[in-house]
Amino acid sequence: MAGYSRAKFPHWIKQMGTCDTREVVLSRDGQDVKTDDQCRSVSGRWHSAYDGKDFTVAGQLDIDHMVPLANAWRSGADSWSTDQRKRFANDLTNPQLFAVSAASNRAKGDQSPDQWRPPLGAYWCSYSRAWTHVKHVYKLSVTQSEQDTLAAMLDTCDR
């Protein structure tokens, strides 16, 4: 982790008007989301796929980086430019950002699938597909333990 700092991944940048990345994800991932004149989510309904919990208060949600910033750093992002890290941290195109319960996001921290899996086993297929996709798109390395766990999680896709 030599040289790592979250600050090296500029995140929650303005995406459109006054809306930053966090607010865009909250609007995208919620239902009936209403925002104020500064684009803050003031009401809506959200479902946290990691643990199956439902929320009506945006402040109870975190925006999870599917591949955490620290994990990306260890997997190759340490050699990226600041612009590349900024794109990664605010990626609305690939399955990299999700509104999830604050509790599940904080339990995950910067861990990879061999260290942490969503408590809701029914989400393992989607989680492993998203993780694999993001690692592939950004050409990030995968440890053998991570690969083994992802393979087992992918096996849940046919159940």
One-letter amino acid for residue 70 of the chain: A
- Global pTM exceeds 0.85: yes
Give the pLDDT band of residue 2 (cuts 50, 70, 90).
confident
Domain count, the chain: 1
User: Does residue 2 belong to any structural domain of this protein?
Assistant: no
| Domain of residue 112, residue span | 8-158
DSSP state string for 72-127: HHHHTGGGS-HHHHHHHHT-SSSTTEEEEEHHHHHHHTT--TTT---S-GGGHHHH
User: Does residue 111 belong to any structural domain of this protein?
Assistant: yes
* Distance between CA atoms of residues 32 and 14, nearest Å: 22
One-letter amino acid for residue 117 of the chain: R
* Distance between CA atoms of residues 88 and 66, nearest Å: 11
Q: What is the pLDDT of residues 88-116, one digit of tens each?
A: 999 999 999 999 999 999 999 999 999 99
User: Does residue 3 belong to any structural domain of this protein?
Assistant: no
% of the chain with per-residue pLDDT over 90? 95
Tokens 């995950």 sit on residue:
108
